Structure 1
């Protein structure tokens, strides 16, 4: 399939999921901030500064959407995984550090986008021969810096951007300088902590040996987002005005772009803007999105509340009865049918073989004659 068409389909699918699940995401954020965060704070004895730092992460709507999406929009699974992620962040990213200089990572100006409206990152890969904790910490903070930049971009505009697209330059990478353990850790442990943030990786990778190594540790979902492009193919996807001169475009070279002041973002035809005032919705007592499971809930402006203002026993009994019937209706129906068959059989047996049968038939005959 054509690369442009595949990226277009993936982008459209993501935006549709974002629109369809926005209310669920807002409700999940409310539960995380009001219930999960206080529980984690008590468990880890967090101070007010740590709590506020964790709360800012939970308020990142795009990140919470991607985490919920990774768990197939199953609320209970998402709450569990986000809680674990919060523990991990407090261990690996606290206290927050100033932005580290990323000499090999280049953020193109904010008004420069790919054809689908996403900001562009150019990464000039450098080999790591081992997987030491120093390199891992550097990569963790790099991904967090990516997230914070994307959040700042969304905070500064009403238009929502969910992903970056990455041009991965591997001209200086070789098999001898590639740590398979480090690549495996990035793909299996680090990327899932920041799911969906990188839309695709376009690479000029011409070393088939390295690709064969990487495919062994890449999950199928990651393989589908990696495209190996020749310079001509890169130019056919990106407009020349979106590429630096290093890759045949009209922008200044990468080392010059890093010195330019940031440009103000411009609206993109593929960015999605959510309505500021969603209409109220009503959640079923048995809905997985219902934070008060068993009771009817209404949700307006992302704040779910009990539909009747309190937890009524009759609502809970009704829900339990419904769940009991849904769980046991087949065995109950089968038993009722069997009981009816047994009763019918016994009635026929009584009518055919009972000593009082003749008297009963005689009385019927007399009644008919009269």
Structure 2
């Protein structure tokens, strides 16, 4: 796809998105009102939220761009969007409460640098994801949450400008081998990430793409919805420069800026949040006191303090660990028992139908 066609496609998609946002804004506000008045109150009682957690949840609900993306992802059907938002809110409170911990997976260029349509440019070197799967997944979610917060801060800061609903991802494939391709991570991304952060990517530019990736892409695109495939582009360095202009790109990608690692990254700045600490869920892989709630310092994220040690936390953690260790075997055992009982009952019915006397041990119940 040449640069002219790529720019035209992105321009058309952007205009459609903005028109949809403006047309559905009243519905988004009504949905936010319901979430604040009913859903959040119910969740607060159900999970016994602290004041900090309640404030954290309320901030997310009040993010108009996020609620719009949920509504759009669910075809503007209010009931579907409401259910998805409720489910995501509970998930965020139970599993994600890590949004202010630093993560270096993404590198966002600082404002006013943006693509021609005013959207943030976010860089990701894919080879950096080749770490422990769980560590990568946690880091990706933290980075994505910080990106959401950054986009909201831009909308609050530049309220008189056109709202920012999406960002543009520049993914560098350099150093990534075909053997390192992990289908499990792609499946996790589509099932766990996209439904919880819908519609954030306006486009994904894959750089340093060669013919050796062609087979992998032919497999991957069959697993992606058409709407996602249509947002993936493979520009050359020259085409990327023509689209973004040199003033919006780091020098190691042909631009006029400093090298990427020397460019300020607003996703990892301490002023993104005013909180002094962040709660880490008991069973997060980032929690050194696994099983008990912990708190990490923002100024020194490597310093983690253990919270209250409650018996219910210990019992719940032991139950979770036991199930992880033995759950599959327990399911198989119950399945075998059910099959055995079913076969025994079927044999008894067959003998009865053939007129064979049943012994006391084979009496039908």
Query: TM-score if structure 1 supplies the norm length?
Result: 0.66
**1:264-284 Cα deviation digits (max 9, x unpaired):** xxxxxxxxxxxxxxxxxxxxx
Q: Distance in 1 between matches of 2:122 and 2:45?
A: 39
Q: Using the TM superposition, give the Cα deviation of residue 133 of structure 1 relative to its aligned residue in structure 2, in angstroms.
A: 2.5
Residue 106 of structure 2 is matched in structure 1 by 105
Alignment map for 1:266-285 (pairs within 5 Å): none
State whether residues 166 and 202 of structure 1, in contact with CA within 8 Å, keep that contact through their aligned partners in structure 2.
yes
**1:156-183 Cα deviation digits (max 9, x unpaired):** 1212211111111111111122211012
Residue 144 of structure 1 is matched in structure 2 by 145
Q: Structure 1 residues 233, 255: CA separation in 2 closer, same or farther (over 3 Å shift)?
A: same
Partner secondary structure for residue 101 of structure 1: coil
Partner secondary structure for residue 193 of structure 1: coil
Q: Using the TM superposition, give the Cα deviation of residue 62 of structure 1 relative to its aligned residue in structure 2, in angstroms.
A: 0.5
Partner secondary structure for residue 223 of structure 2: coil
Q: Distance in 2 between matches of 1:259 and 1:181?
A: 29
Residue 249 of structure 1 is matched in structure 2 by 255
Q: Distance in 2 between matches of 1:20 and 1:258?
A: 36
Q: Using the TM superposition, give the Cα deviation of residue 128 of structure 1 relative to its aligned residue in structure 2, in angstroms.
A: 4.8
State whether residues 103 and 142 of structure 2, in contact with CA within 8 Å, keep that contact through their aligned partners in structure 1.
no
Residue 185 of structure 2 is matched in structure 1 by 182
Q: Distance in 2 between matches of 1:109 and 1:130?
A: 27
Q: CA RMSD in A?
A: 2.1
Q: Distance in 2 between matches of 1:179 and 1:161?
A: 32
| Structure 2: runs of 5+ lacking an equivalent | 270-365
Partner secondary structure for residue 199 of structure 1: strand
**1:27-83 Cα deviation digits (max 9, x unpaired):** 110110001111112222223222221111100010001001111111111111111
State whether residues 63 and 152 of structure 2, in contact with CA within 8 Å, keep that contact through their aligned partners in structure 1.
yes
Q: Hey, which bits of structure 1, 4+ residues long, moved more than 4 A?
A: 127-131, 259-262
Residue 208 of structure 1 is matched in structure 2 by 214
**1:72-125 Cα deviation digits (max 9, x unpaired):** 11111111111111111112112x4533131x5221121111111111111111
Question: Radius of gyration: which is bigger?
Answer: 1
Residue 235 of structure 2 is matched in structure 1 by 229
Alignment map for 1:1-370 (pairs within 5 Å): 2-94=5-97, 96=98, 98-102=100-104, 104-126=105-127, 128=129, 132-158=133-159, 159=161, 160-204=163-207, 205-206=209-210, 207-258=213-264
Residue 310 of structure 1 is matched in structure 2 by none
Q: Distance in 2 between matches of 1:135 and 1:232?
A: 31
Query: TM-score if structure 2 supplies the norm length?
Result: 0.67
Q: Distance in 2 between matches of 1:97 and 1:79?
A: 23
Partner secondary structure for residue 127 of structure 2: coil
Partner secondary structure for residue 194 of structure 2: helix
**1:219-255 Cα deviation digits (max 9, x unpaired):** 2221111001111221221111111111111111112
Q: Structure 1 residues 228, 174: CA separation in 2 closer, same or farther (over 3 Å shift)?
A: same
| Structure 1: runs of 5+ lacking an equivalent | 263-370
State whether residues 11 and 117 of structure 2, in contact with CA within 8 Å, keep that contact through their aligned partners in structure 1.
yes
Partner secondary structure for residue 200 of structure 1: strand
Q: Distance in 2 between matches of 1:4 and 1:129?
A: 32
Q: Distance in 2 between matches of 1:105 and 1:29?
A: 29
> How many residue pairs align between the two structures?
260
